[in-house]
Structure 1
Amino acid sequence: MTTCSSRYVRLFAALVLMLVPATAVQPQVAVSAATQRPLADVLEGITPAVVNIAVRSRSAAETNPLYNDPFFRRYFNLPEQRQQRLSAGSGVIVDADKGHILTNHHVVENAGEIAVTLKDRRRFIAKLVGSDKATDIALLKIDADKLTALPFGDSGALRVGDSVVAIGNPFGLGQTVTSGIVSALGRGGINVEGYEDFIQTDASINPGNSGGALVTADGLLVGINTAIIAPAGGNVGIGFAVPIAMASRVMEQLIEHGEVRRGRIGISIQDLTPDLAEALGIEQSYGAVVGRVERNSPAAHAGLQAGDVIIAVNDRKITGSADLRNRVGLAQVGADVKIEYLRDGVPKTVTVRIEPDQALAEPSALSTRLEGAQFEDAAGNVVVSGVEDGSAAARSGLRAGDVIVAVNRRPVSTVAELAAALNDASGTIALDLFRGGLKLFLVIR
């Protein structure tokens, strides 16, 4: 009887299971960790702020459409022809009322006409408000209504591992969204002639994404996509974006002046290394060490001295010399900045006024043998900020990013000193310079 009852119980249970409908498998939905909203809902509200940019420029490109992105051409040394060309990139609407759009300098460089296409397929011819090669940021303006702008996030609060989304126009395919994480912060050395503090991400960024948006999971703009490392010509999981904190400072100056007027305080600096920290008798692990203070400079008037370790500007920590160069170089000329530093391990604070940096000098004013090069004062050094292809300077072997320290054994630390030394050099010019951390001797006849 017991055995028979057990058999009936098992049979009844099996029949019940057969009659109960199976639970439907629910599709997985990506959810924003910041808002607990589906990521698709977040993107639906912000993707109209990302636009496609088509540029008709006066220099030529290969006919292959994959080569139409200016970043792709610039970093892969593709040949130019003397005819008009079309190129593609992306941009981000940052002010709906004024029609302001942030993009990359290299997207609109040498542009004859700039066309902006919105997500709703409306097309406008844009005006170039201004462009800055050193940060690779440009600002456009269109006359349009019913625009969507992306709100700014705090790029300084990003941490490695934060979720981010890249939005752009890769390979001219149309608007595309990719997701990933912040894989590193404060990257440099990508464009040796510029001001760099890149956000590195593994969100797919490809040719055509240049000028597009890097946003947080809750839809805040934290970067302008600008560069990739692409040994095979496509995405390999290493992309870079200009932090919006830097891009917005550039934008403010472009609106006010049409260009970036860089500032200086008159010091040469270097990174604080463990060896330097030990030699200075401090336990600090970050900052920039003052190597030299120029006479009659704002830094000298404020009392800064060689050996001081600058650790913060306007209450924000300085990670190293490049970070300090960015903060000072992009500060408004005439503004007062609060600098925190250590002297003999003792914390001190001083206010320094930013003075104009007589940064760029035309090469023709220096020497016809260096025609095609531009020079910039950078924290007590003379940096070659650009060299035109095929120019006299390029043929002489000079490269963007070279740091010139002497002319015919005569030390130079500013563009003005470089000009004076070149004017006094009647014969062969011998340049002492640093390139990629190595000291070189360049002879120009």
Structure 2
Amino acid sequence: MRAILFCLLFFWQAHASAASLADTVEEIKPSVVAIGTYQQDRAPPLKFLGTGFAVSDGNHVITNFHVVSGILDAEQQEKLVVFTGNGEKARVYGAEKVRVDRMHDLALLKFEGPAMPVLHFGDSGALREGDSLAFTGFPIGVVLGYYPVTHKATLSSITPIVIPAQNSNQLTARAISQLRTPFRVFQLDGTAYPGNSGSPLYLPETGKVVGIVNMVFVKNVKESVLSDPSGIAYAIPGDYISSLIRDAGLTP
């Protein structure tokens, strides 16, 4: 009898956990956007760059700095945009960079159009190695339509990281200071792809954001990321995101 009760309890808990994540994903998806550029005479006119998510007043979006660090072609009137919507009916709105944090690979954008549902932040400092997490974004872009994809992940390590300079010309006083004070990041055991850059990392039970996916470990060459993913990704903790939003005079 006890064995039967144990089995029933196990299956009930498993179902409750799955239902909790399913409910959370429904709440998360309306706040997730695709980031890209628009150029009218380009084929195709829309170019996907990465993922982002709505914060604060619903007209601001957080993404990675490396997603929007490229130089726009002013002569061809290339513009930074965000994609919102559902399925094949995506809407495109112009956007601009409001504030960036290069050290932590973060960018805050403001976009035109109606305010979106926003995501709220949890305590990223309370996470422990082994915690279950999830992230939602556009792993391979929007070529098949506007369909955000959710992946599960395990927090496998909390580790310091240093972003090295690519050449000696970049070894400024600020860069050297950053090398001396590496910041912590989350190493995830979960399959992410380049398009997931900027995806919100959140608690499956509550949907509270605790980080942002910013890096995928590449096993061999860049071209193998889609066909042979490493299953290792990295994320910037949410407290750095909250600080950036506050620095812009907004409420996280």
User: Does TM-score exceed 0.5, indicating one fold?
Assistant: yes
2:146 maps to 1:192: no
Q: Give the Cα–Cα distance (whole angstroms) in 2 for the partners of residues 185 and 160 of structure 1.
A: 7
Q: Which residue of 1 aligns with 2:49?
A: 88
Counterpart mapping for 1:293-304 below 5 A: none
| Counterpart residue number, 1:161 | 130
1:377 aligned residue: none
Per-residue deviation, 1:98 = 4.8
Q: CA deviation at 1:168?
A: 1.0
Contact 1:178-1:203 within 8 A present in 2 as well:
yes
Residues 388-417 of structure 1: CA distance to partner in whole angstroms, max 9, x if unpaired? xxxxxxxxxxxxxxxxxxxxxxxxxxxxxx
1:137 aligns with 2:106: yes
Deviations 1:398-442 (A, max 9, x none): xxxxxxxxxxxxxxxxxxxxxxxxxxxxxxxxxxxxxxxxxxxxx
Query: Does the Cα contact within 8 Å between 2:108 and 2:245 map onto a contact in 1?
Result: yes
d(CA) in 1 for partners of 2:15, 2:97: 38
| Alpha-carbon contact 2:201-2:212 (below 8 Å) kept | yes
Q: Any conservation in 2 of the 1:164–1:203 contact (CA below 8 Å)?
A: no
Amino acid at match of 1:244: G
CA distance in 2, matches of 1:256, 1:128: 14
Instruction: Provide the rounded CA distance (Å) in 1 between the counterparts of 2:132 and 2:212.
Output: 16
Correspondence for 2:140:
171
Corresponding residue number in structure 1 for 2:67 = 107
TM-aligned CA distance change 1:111 to 1:98, over 3 Å: farther
1:226 and 2:214 correspond? yes
Q: How many residues align?
A: 201
**8 Å contact from structure 1 (residues 181, 201) kept in 2:** yes
- Which residue matches 1:248? 242
- 1:433-444 alignment runs, 5 A limit: none
Q: Answer whether contact 1:51 1:116 (CA < 8 A) is retained.
A: yes
**Would you say the 8 A contact 1:29–1:38 is kept in 2?**
no
TM-score (norm. length: structure 2): 0.71
Q: Which residue of 2 aligns with 1:294?
A: none
Query: Which consecutive residues of structure 1, in runs of 5 or more, have no partner in the other structure?
Result: 1-25, 58-62, 66-83, 258-445
Report if the CA contact (8 A) 2:20-2:204 is conserved: no
| Cα drift, residue 130 of structure 1 | 1.8
Give 2:197's match in structure 1, choosing from 182, 185, 210: 210
CA distance 1:237–1:143, change in 2 (3 Å): same
AA aligned to 1:180 is: A
Cα displacement (A) at 1:37: 4.5
Q: Does 1:50 align with 2:32?
A: yes
Residue 242 of structure 2: SS of its match in structure 1?
A: helix
CA 1:30–1:51 in structure 2 vs 1: closer, same or farther (change >3 Å)? Answer: farther
**Structure 1: distance between partners of 2:16 and 2:152:** 12
| Higher radius of gyration, 1 or 2 | 1
Paired with 1:237 and 1:94, the residues of 2 have a C-alpha distance of 28
How far off its partner does 1:30 sit? 5.3
C-alpha change, 1:158 and 1:108, in structure 2 (3 Å) is same
The answer to whether the Cα contact below 8 Å between 2:98 and 2:110 also exists between their aligned partners in 1 is: yes
In structure 1, distance between residues paired with 2:46 and 2:33: 20
Name the SS for the 1:217 alignment partner: coil
Q: 1:116 aligns with which of 68, 82, 107?
A: 82
Q: Cα offset for 1:48?
A: 1.1
Percent identical residues:
32
CA-atom RMSD in angstroms: 2.9
CA contact (8 A) 1:98 1:141 kept: no
Cα distance, 1:42 vs structure 2: 1.3
Distance change (3 Å), C-alpha of 1:89 and 1:143: same
Using the TM superposition, give the Cα deviation of residue 203 of structure 1 relative to its aligned residue in structure 2, in angstroms.
2.1
Work out the CA distance in 2 between the residues paired with 1:184 and 1:228.
15
Higher relative contact order (CA 8 A, sep 6+): 2
AA at the equivalent of 1:91? G
Q: Which runs of 5+ in 2 are unaligned?
A: 1-10, 73-78, 166-177
Distance 1:109 1:152, change over 3 A: same
Q: Mark the CA change 1:158 to 1:167 in structure 2 (over 3 Å): closer, same or farther.
A: same
Please list the CA deviations of residues 315-349 of structure 1 after superposition, one character each: whole Å capped at 9, or x if unmatched: xxxxxxxxxxxxxxxxxxxxxxxxxxxxxxxxxxx
Counterpart of 2:183, as a letter, is E
Cα pair 2:58 2:118 within 8 Å, conserved: no
Shift of 1:146: 4.8
Name the aligned partner's letter for residue 114 of structure 1: L
Letter in 1 for 2:215: A
Conserved in 2, the CA contact under 8 Å of 1:166 and 1:203? no
Contact 2:49-2:195 within 8 A present in 1 as well: yes
**Distance in 2 between residues matched to 1:88 and 1:139, nearest whole Å:** 15
Corresponding residue to 1:236 among 221, 230, 235: 230
In 2, Cα distance between equivalents of 1:136 and 1:209: 14
CA distance in 1, matches of 2:185, 2:153: 16
Give 1:91 deviation, angstroms. Answer: 0.2
